[in-house]
Homo-oligomer: A and B are copies of this chain.
Amino acid sequence: MKKQKVSSAVIRRLPRYYRHLTDLYLAGVVRISSSALGKSMNLTASQIRQDLSCFGEFGQQGYGYNVESLRDEIAEILGMNQKHTAVILGVGNLGRALMENFHFDRSGFTLTAAFDVDPNLIGKSVSDVQVHPVEELERYLRETSVSVGVLTVPRAAAAPMSERLVAGGVKGIWNFTNAELDMGRSGVVVENVHFADSLLALSYMISEAP
C-alpha cells in the first residue's frame, strides 16, 4: 500500500475509523457500505470514500467494505504493527492515571518504563511498569529502543525533559503539559493533548450567542 501526503484532517479521522470499525467487528458485522459507515460516524459516504482513497483501493462497488480487512489495513496505516514503545516521564496523578487505566497495547504501544524524581516512587512498579530515577533516562534511551516519550511532568520541567528525550533519539513526544515544545530541526513529532482547548470548544458549544 502506498502512502502519499495526507492532510492532517484525514490523519485525525483515521483513529475514529479504526475505533468504529473495531466496534463493528466486535459486534459481528462482516461488511458495511460507505453510507452506513458514514451515518454512524456523522460523515458523508463520499467523504469516507475520499478519505480512504488517500491510501489505496478499498471496498468494491456495490459490495461495500469488509469490516475486518479495512480495520486491519487502517491499523497498518496507523503504524499499529510497528512494535512502538513508550516511556512515561512524571508519575504524578496524570502519569499514574495513564499507567493504570490507559491501554497502550490497544494502540500498538508497549509502555516499558517510567521515570520520576520522587524517591518514594523510584523502584516501585505501577501496573507492572517500573519507576526509574530520572538520572537514568539517558542510559535507558541508549540501551533500549524507545519510540515515544510521554510527558506528564510539571510545566516547568517540560522543556528540559523534552530536550533530553530528543537527544536520546525518540521519534515522538506525547505532550500532556500545556507547554508549547520547540523541536527545532530535530524532526521529532509532538502530539499535544490540550485539555484547555477541549474545554473551550465545549464552552463555545454550550454558550448562548453573545
Chain A interfacial positions (CB closer than 8 Å to B)? 1-3, 9, 11-12, 14-16, 18-19, 76-80, 82, 84, 92-94, 96-98, 100-104, 106-109, 147-148, 171-172, 174, 189, 191, 193-210
Contacts and interface: CB of A to CB of B under 8 A. Distances in A.
A124 to B, nearest CB: 15
Given A94-B94, A196-B19, A148 B201 contact: no
- Copies of this subunit: 2
Given A93-B94, A101-B94, A77 B201 contact: no
B12 A78 contact: no
- By secondary structure, the A interface counts as helix
Contact of A198 (B19, B191, B207): B191
A201 B15 CA distance: 7
B197 A15 contact: yes
A107 B189 contact: no
A120 to B, nearest CB: 16
B204 A98 contact: no
A78 B207 contact: yes
